[in-house]
Amino acid sequence: MADVLLSSIVGGGGEKTPATVVGLLESEQFSQIITPHISNIGVSVVFSGALTANTYKNVASVAAPGRLLFAAAYRNNTTSRSVGLRITLNGVVFYDVFDSANTSIGRGPVGAGFISSTGISMSNYHFNTLSVDIKSSLTETDSIRYAVVYTLDQ
C-alpha cells in the first residue's frame, strides 16, 4: 500500500511542517515520569554532559529532510531542578517547555511523541532542519538524560 499524506486528503498543497503543538505540557507544569516507557521500547538515551544553569545546550542538529518521532528530557537523580526541552523545526520553535522543579527521577517534558500508561506513541513531524536543545535550572554534569528519535528521508 502506498503512503498517503494526510494533507493530500484534506488539501493544502502538500505536506506541512507544524509550527506549534497544542495540548502538551506547558512551562511550569509538573511533568510525567517517562523512564519505564523509554526502557521498554529500547530507545537510546544519552547523558546531558555539562550544563550551565538556565542555558539551552544543543543535543541534536540535523540539516536534512526527515521526520521527528520522539524527543524527551528527564531527571537522572533526585536533586530538585527544572528540566527544559526546546524543539525547532525548519527554524521555527515548535516546542519550548521548562517544567516545574521536582525531585522525581525519570520525570521530564516530552515534546514529540506521547507517553501513556501502556507505553509510548511516536509522532511523525516532518522537517527539513531539526534542532533539539535541553537545559537544567542548575549548573551540573550528566544529571539530565535525553532521547531524540528521528528518521531521514531518502
Structurally, the chain folds into a number of domains equal to: 1
Residues 116, 119, 123, 124, CA torsion sign: negative
Task: Say if 17 falls within a structural domain.
Answer: no
Low-confidence ranges of the chain (pLDDT < 50): 1-14
Which of 125, 128, 127 lies closest to 6 in space, CA to CA?
A: 125
Q: How far apart are CA 49 and CA 120, in angstroms?
A: 25
Is 16 part of any domain?
Answer: no
Residue 115 lies in a domain: yes
Q: Report which of 24, 15, 32 is spatially closest to residue 125, judged by C-alpha positions.
A: 15
Position 6 in a domain: no
CATH number, domain at 50?
2.60.120
pLDDT at 20: 58
- Which residue range(s) make up the domain with 84? 23-152
Share of the chain above pLDDT 90, in %: 42
The reported pLDDT for the residue numbered 88 is 94
Give me the pLDDT at residue 11, please: 37
d(CA 91, CA 83): 22
